[in-house]
Structure 1
Amino acid sequence: MTQEPLVRFQRVQKTYDGEQLVVRQLDLDIHRGEFLSLLGPSGSGKTTTLMMLAGFESPTSGDILLDGRHITGTPPHRRHFGMVFQNYALFPHLSVGQNVAYPLTVRKVPKDEQRRRVQRALEMVQLRGMDDRLPGRLSGGQQQRVALARALVFEPQLVLMDEPLGALDKQLREHMQIELKELHRQLGVTFVYVTHDQGEALTMSDRVAVFNEGVIQQLDTVEQLYERPANRFVAGFVGDNTVLKGVLRSAGNCAEMALPDGRVLTGLNVSGAAAGAEVEACIRPERVVLERQVEASGPGVLEAEVARVIYFGDHLRLLCTMGGGQADATVKLPLSGLQGAAPPQGGERVWLRFPIDHVRIYAA
């Protein structure tokens, strides 16, 4: 028998003005112990969904269940969820230890037990020995750790995070992503994490719900989300893509599309477009195969010219002019793949092979 989800959204809608739905007909199950990210652009409904789960916003219609119990009308302080915000929300006049102990104080936990739990929480986030410092004397990364310790100290079954790493610099943000994921692995607590950063979502999550215009466009594992985007929005929002436009020549799961200059490309007809429909073919830059030595031929091989070469440390990123009114194609070329050969240069004539299994065709 399938285990009951920890949280279930049932037909949840949210509007602030009575007309425009910020969240439309949301059905979402959150599993116990998973790291679920809510990903999407500004205004997509992801933060509103988190705020409804936290209890700071109420659904206009629909229900939210926790362990099978309705919590739609339960106030935030009675939901017992840990919460971490982007601005940390620490009390500046309280020490680190007092900040972390605050949720225990309001729950009237005995002082001895408070001290034990605070020390354990600070050790979890590698802030042992900093109990007496004030937040103003800590770095941004340390303040974020204090906020995380405070969210974990009362041992909640659910931790909600609203873009908690957004204020950190890139290097520290990436370091904290790894630490958060490791902490999640150790504790087994359910994390629900809001972000607009697709790299962040892919790095940490077990599953990702991609939001746009109040609707979940795709809910999947990070691998499925990246390799098999369900629609054109997900393909464009998650990861880089080379996009070619044309008209579908044949229907079916594996279909041919004609580019405006007559060249033909074959791929997977994801959206089930009909023959004659205007379509867009998307492929990840690392899946495009670069041919240099001799003129290549065969299905899915298109001639191009290298317009620009960008050095990324572990790989080169080539922008290739496709002609025929198409946007430039992006190709990721690992430096190890050069095998001692000179890297491609601007103006060089090349042939790009688009493997059928990695070309996904969507209705335009």
Structure 2
Amino acid sequence: MTTSSALVTFTGVQKTYDGNTLVVRDLNLEIQKGEFLSLLGPSGSGKTTTLMMLAGFESPTSGEIALNGVPITRTPPHKRNFGMVFQNYALFPHMTVADNIAYPLTVRKLDKNEIDTKVKRALDMVQMGHMGQRYPSQMSGGQQQRVALARALVFDPQLVLMDEPLGALDKQLREHMQIELKALHRSLGVTFVYVTHDQSEALTMSDRVAVFNEGVIQQIDQVDRLYETPANRFVAGFVGDNSVLDARVIHNNGDTCEVQLADGTHLHGVNVNHAQVGDTVQCSVRPERIAVVDAGHSAGNRVAATISDVIYFGDHLRLRCQVPEQPEMSVKVPLQHLGHMQAGQTVHLHLPPTHLRVYR
């Protein structure tokens, strides 16, 4: 038994399919009751395998999964009482919407009156109260996804697992459903575990995000901290846009350091991974944290760059800038710069030391 207050605990969980490659390696994870946790990462990072082990469709090669402190590693899926929503909806085409939603209750042998009451409540929950007698083929993708969600929630599960559930929807509908899902989670207080490779989706909806790469959680954090203070190069590059400069450390001040670029420019930044003098490092800064300043601007931490392109994004401009012997930098600037910036122009960029993060 564990003394943890977590709803779900993964302890030392590993998974291999071939006996050689670990798809998930030494996973230790606590999922808190009532939270919206997203598992985020590229294809093959282990996030879906983790979800499938939690659902019971895959078994860990080693380690233990516990629910409320009780091991469930060998409990079959249908006895875990978790709601599941997949990308392909998995609705029964020959059943009405109401019968699809009622299916988990029928399997649990509830009486008809109770089933009708719960189905009505679930339909209302996803704003489809008037569509119970339709068939899946008569509905749009977004409506089918709501039916799948209602079916996952109808039997009051303590945990709802979702695997890329909005992946098949168009951008506008997907963004609308993200907001609805977040509101639904807030009103129900059920624990949601959500797999996605879409970083903006994870940031929009979650309380916390676990970033996976190569079978390991690289960082698990609240969304603002994940974005503002990435723990390593991978998280910085995978979550959100990033401008990167290659440099060498010339002074180490513990939590901060001074670096030198190839053209001799000196910059100060946050020494995230305790880089030492002489180390080759990447300096990372969010495009919206970079400011275009006058040539005579007194503050340090400036680089001179040449604009290679100005892109209009509607609510801001994106400058693509070239610094000598560096990867291309992206800079977000307000619309008042429209018409004042053009390709070929030299600009001076201020990189605030508190937002310039230095990674080994």
Match for residue 328 of structure 2? 328
Match for residue 260 of structure 2? 258
Distance 1:117 1:334 in 2: 50
1:27-66 correspondence to structure 2 within 5 Å? 27-66=28-67
1:295 aligns to 2:296 (yes or no): yes
Q: Give the letter aligned to residue 254 of structure 1.
A: T
5+ residue gaps in structure 2? none
Number of aligned pairs? 357
Q: Give the letter aligned to residue 332 of structure 1.
A: K
Match for residue 352 of structure 1? 349
SS of 1:250's equivalent in the other structure is strand
- The TM-score, its normalising length taken from structure 2, stands at 0.97
- The TM-score, its normalising length taken from structure 1, stands at 0.96
RMSD: 1.1
Report the CA distance between 1:129 and its aligned residue. 1.0
Report the CA distance between 1:298 and its aligned residue. 3.7
Match for residue 89 of structure 1? 90
Distance 2:82 2:224 in 1: 29
Per-residue CA deviations over 1:239-260 (Å, capped at 9, x if unaligned) read: 0000000111112211011111
Distance 1:195 1:135 in 2: 24
Match for residue 320 of structure 2? 319
1:66-81 correspondence to structure 2 within 5 Å? 66-81=67-82
Q: Give the letter aligned to residue 330 of structure 2.
A: T
Distance 2:242 2:273 in 1: 17
Runs of 4+, deviation exceeding 4 Å: none
What is the aligned-residue identity percentage?
Answer: 65
SS of 2:354's equivalent in the other structure is helix
5+ residue gaps in structure 1? none
Per-residue CA deviations over 1:64-114 (Å, capped at 9, x if unaligned) read: 000110000000000000000000000000000000000000000110010
Distance 1:55 1:233 in 2: 29
SS of 2:251's equivalent in the other structure is coil
SS of 1:116's equivalent in the other structure is helix
Any conservation in 1 of the 2:38–2:202 contact (CA below 8 Å)?
yes
SS of 1:356's equivalent in the other structure is coil
1:9-20 correspondence to structure 2 within 5 Å? 9-20=10-21
Q: Give the letter aligned to residue 351 of structure 1.
A: H
Per-residue CA deviations over 1:27-51 (Å, capped at 9, x if unaligned) read: 0000000000000000000000000
Report the CA distance between 1:321 and its aligned residue. 1.2
Match for residue 219 of structure 2? 218
Any conservation in 2 of the 1:295–1:351 contact (CA below 8 Å)?
no
Report the CA distance between 1:3 and its aligned residue. 6.3
Distance 1:3 1:327 in 2: 46
Report the CA distance between 1:343 and its aligned residue. 3.5
